[in-house]
Chain A
Amino acid sequence: MISYKTKEDKEEEIFELLNPIVRDWFRQKFKTFSPPQKFAITEIHSRQNVLVSAPTGTGKTLCLFLSILNELIDSSQKGILQNKIYAVYTSPLKSLNSDISLNLKGPLEEMEKIARKKFGIRISVRTGDTTTAERQKMLKTPPHILITTPESLSILLASPKFKDHLKNVDFGIIDEVHSLAENKRGTQLSLAFERLQYLSLGMARIGASATIEPLEEIAKFVAGSKRDCKIINTPLIKQLDLKVLSPSSDLIEEPFGLMHQKMYELLDGLIQKHKTTLIFTNTRSATERVVHHLKDKFPKNYTENIGAHHGSLSKEHRLDIEKRMRDGKMKCVVSSTSLELGLDIGYIDLVILLGSPKSVARFVQRIGRSCHQLNATIKGRVIVLDRDDLIECSVMAKNALENKIDKIHIPKNSLDVLAQEIYGMANQQIWEEKELFKLIKNSYCYEDLSKKDFDDVLSYLDGSYTSLEDRHVYAKIWRNEGKIGKKGKLSRVIYMTNIGTIPDETAVTVKIGERKIGYIEEAFLERLKRNDLFVLGGQVYQFLFARGMVAQVQASPGRPPTVPAWFSEMLPLSFDLANDIGKFRRLIEQKFENKKSKDEMIDFISEYLYTNRQTSTAIYNYMKEQYDYCKHIPNDKKILIEQFKDERGNKKIIFHTMFGRRVNDCLSRAVAFAISRLEHKDVEIGINDNGFYISSSKPINALRALQALKSKELRKILEQAIEKTEIFRRRFRHCATRSLMILRQYKGRKKRVGRQQVSSMILMSALKRISDDFSILKEAKREVLEDLMDVDHTIDILKNIEDGKIELKAIFTEIPSPFSFNLILQAHLDVLKIEDKIEFLKRMHSQVLAKISLNK
């Protein structure tokens, strides 16, 4: 049963539980318990499973650990402290692990001073960086509190000697749940925790998360699908001072160069008015760019006091920046996601977000990094550069102020992670298949796992998809009389060196001779032909040739690029937030229809979105332009379909579907697939958060194509539609490496990403010959449709169209409507391939023949 704890405990009650030394120490150090502490400490003390959802800076570490430290100290005092691991703590970040270790050792030392003796309590960090000597030491004398990562925990569970230390653990802690639950690292951890629980039946589980939704699902993720869990939800109680700012009052007419200049002036102005500013960008490269431009434009203001912090930078660099932040030596730090989590970074009085963070949860998480103290005001500024962003971020700020958090998606039934973990389990011990299946289904991520999928994964692992004579090459486990076990001498080494769910980076280095220019994605390289011109870091380059993971180019300044810019897997707008934007648009459209005056509407916007008059006016003007142009504002209950001819005479059909990119990814591909199947030709599609377009040289009836889509058939159509896309190929590689069908590291050698991709294409065609439903192929489809895209919500949208709850409106325009501009400019391109390889060749051949005869 999942339940909410709604009443906090009385302070005296909490103090009563504590050992006098702990009590005295706490009283000296703090006046009172923080809100989450008031709820959680007694629950953890009595070994209940709990999920604590609280913003950072609310005494979370002690909230999780006070009861545990108390028990350890109490045992130590009584002389009954055992030589065993009492608590296992996991977090996604190694640096966070070091922080936690320090934050526990500090209080312990202080309490030892009060007690005037040593407690002998051991705390150790175990990650991929831990030295062999330290490992040996831990094996001999286990720590009382083990601090680790999801991957290291999985490895420890498979370790023949260390696993004995994991047989009697009292507390299992998952920190930063919000950053784990929505990806496959979380899936892996959920299985690792089931493995741990199997060894330590009585273990209580404690999850800690930043503000997140849906809490009940997250609670099941932490506790496992059928266990009890108490949810402790203490939302933000600080004052929020939020503003959406734009560098110019006119986001449409201002030339790019000037806007750029004004944006940096705005940034500098804000930074100079505060003591320490933390800036978040959405990509790592943007992080570097901002640091570079601030230094360049204001050399007097920024010298050693500014720096970048993101995952591609070296550990030393990051640690140095963190230290200087804590020492108060930084004026400004620019980060992408690495500083979102609870690292200790000292005093921050302003957080600036450059561009929309795309979800309310991430927004709250980022701005929450300012003012790391209880009961102070959080100060956040969002800087937007276009009008869609302006509306998006204003609605986001509204939701943040009203504490309306969007829901995350938790991947379910990931067969690749399952294969990896079963392999790990086989390395741990011999299992009854039945018992194994039961254990796996205890995990929330696999509660609906079918017996067939489980069996398919086992027959992948035992190699029975290959011929008998070759099987010894492919089998990773043995299966006999309902039991399974590990196979091969290298088994454990393979598991240890290939574990993990985060795919290798796919960056291709771009060089002029030996000089490094930057990086492009591998998929982008695939599209380049010799002599193509493309943009990188604001400069135009001509592509010469590629060798492995290096692309050779030469500078071609001033020439127009021949290949459109490539947008990698950007953060998608959350579905819930997209709906709220759609709702806001609908309210505005109604007011236009009811002929409300300009003043009335601006007042309404200011009241609804908490925006100032200038911002409200800008939003009003944008809406008015759209409404005046075509009398429609697409919204959550109205899809606008707009057709026009572009400059090349191609027909473009724009679908204004305000549902976020994950849904638009599905809708666009399904519609394009329907059209291309009718016409038998490849169709170009462009997608962003607010809609999508379809482009074709022939006339097409797009409205009919959308109407013809049936919610019941959607999934099947999409499975076919994605099969030939770049993204499916890439995700297949990720799944193949997670399933250990492609080993990233084998016999001491590491494989490059390019090599992995080439191999994975060969692998894919071979597996298709075995079965289209081969577990890894199936998983790659599931991952693309459910995790990357959002097939479930798309089905809901189609049902709403079928039931008439969402209206379709088709219009023809000469030039695209105002809402179409950004979509056409910034859409993420893809092509739906329908022609097969030979048909395509025939068409291209006749084109070339025609060209040759013209030249003669």
Chain B
Amino acid sequence: MRLFEATHVFKHDWETVSLASWRKYPNENTPHVRHVEVLNQEVDPDTGVLRTERLIMVQQGVPVLLRKLFGGDASYVLEYSEVDPRQRTLEMQSQNMTYSNLLSVGEHIVYKPHPEQPQHTTFTQSAELKACGAMFRLATKIEDICWNRFNDNAHIGRLGLEQVLSKILAERQALTKVPQ
């Protein structure tokens, strides 16, 4: 098992960053994320928490070793999220469904206001990568390859979100400039 962990501070308030997270795809930085579908969604009438279940289809050129093992490069991920607008938190948990008997990737993401600078947003990402059913050395190799890929994707994912944030800010500026 290998653990991936990363944190990042976005210099925007939580409301804007959470909106950017919903608007993240499609994104030129992450062309491997091909489809994102909302399967279920509801707002809890008591707590006001928004719950969402999404199906994500990822298609990415994978290393030859993995392509040989997995026989393809399209995979499906299921994601469940909760947004608490009162606590100002967005939490996402996801799990790969394709090839999960060979490699399990469970990811947990939290967006919440920075404890010292509430106008900024802290992004925390952690992922467990577990290769299963293979010989130990092969499992370790698979986990290493996937950890590196995950690290690359995490980096371009953050760039992608920054880009959406810039777009949202530009839209807001354009709106305020419209003559009344």
Q: Do A and B bind each other?
A: no
